[in-house]
Amino acid sequence: MTQLAAWWPIFIVLLVFFLAVSAIGYLFFRRQGFDRPTAFLSASPGGLGEMALLGQQFSADVRKLVLVHSVRIVLVVTFVPFMLRQMLGLGQGAISGPPGHGAGGPLDWLALSACVVLGYVLGNRLRSYGGLMLVPMFLSAGLHGSGVTSAEIPYAIVAAMQVVIGCITGARFAGIRFNEVWRTLLIGLVWTLVLIAMSVALALILGKIVDIPAAALFLALAPGGFAEMSVIAYAAEVEVAFVVTCHAFRTIYIMLVSPILCRRLLR
């Protein structure tokens, strides 16, 4: 928390970068024939689950969203570690994540359950603004940040929810034609390569201006998922707190700002 004061200029750069990426990507996908909500959400650098849920809320083409963001995440997770090894001269060590805190006791479960129930009640009123995801997350962040609890949702529950989201999303591919899949995948591939190139270029430029390694800036800007980028940062031991904080900022931006911009775009 004390380091945030020194990082605030980077957050401004991230905000401008995200807005620029969304605008450029929107124009790119519109030229490829995507409708407005699908084009905007395809360009937004969010996680696959978040974008699929937002796509359902805004009547976007979820099939295209899933294909575009799946290509993006797979390519980023594949190429970023290799690029990072070249930048840092790393060996072929194993990747391991941070240690967990466990599920906790009855009081911890009560606190987490309160975040779920209260978050749903409050977030349901802000559904079109990402409230169903954002409000429970803020409530949980408050409890964990204040030290009330350090418990985590058990992995089995998290995995089960991901399976449910995957099944709902995957069911939308029923009847899709091969030509449509191939073209969308190709569009997603081109867009991902553009995103990676933009991230590398901005990281190298910022690395000469601020007192943060270019490798850490690259990981902070890389358009991958929150969990994937965090694991890579832990494995490479590259400014872990900074990288994780930047991707937390990106997640909050996506869930808070993207729905607002999408609503205004549809109007």
Tens-place pLDDT, residues 191-238:
999 999 999 899 889 888 888 888 888 888 888 777 777 777 877 777
Q: To the nearest whole number, what is the mean pLDDT of the chain?
A: 82
Q: How would you classify residue 216: left for phi > 0, otherwise alpha for psi between -120 and 50, otherwise beta?
A: alpha
128, pLDDT greater than 70: no
pLDDT at 210: 84
- Quick one: pLDDT band at residue 95, thresholds 50, 70, 90? very low
- Quick one: pLDDT band at residue 112, thresholds 50, 70, 90? confident
248, pLDDT greater than 60: yes
Q: What percent of the chain has pLDDT over 90?
A: 10
201 contacts 83 by C-beta, under 8 angstroms: no
Give residue-wise pLDDT tens across range 4-61.
777 888 888 888 999 999 899 999 999 998 988 899 999 888 877 778 888 888 888 8
- Quick one: pLDDT band at residue 97, thresholds 50, 70, 90? very low
> How many Å separate Cα 8 from the centre of its chain?
20
Distance CA 46, CA 65 (A): 11
pLDDT at 83: 82
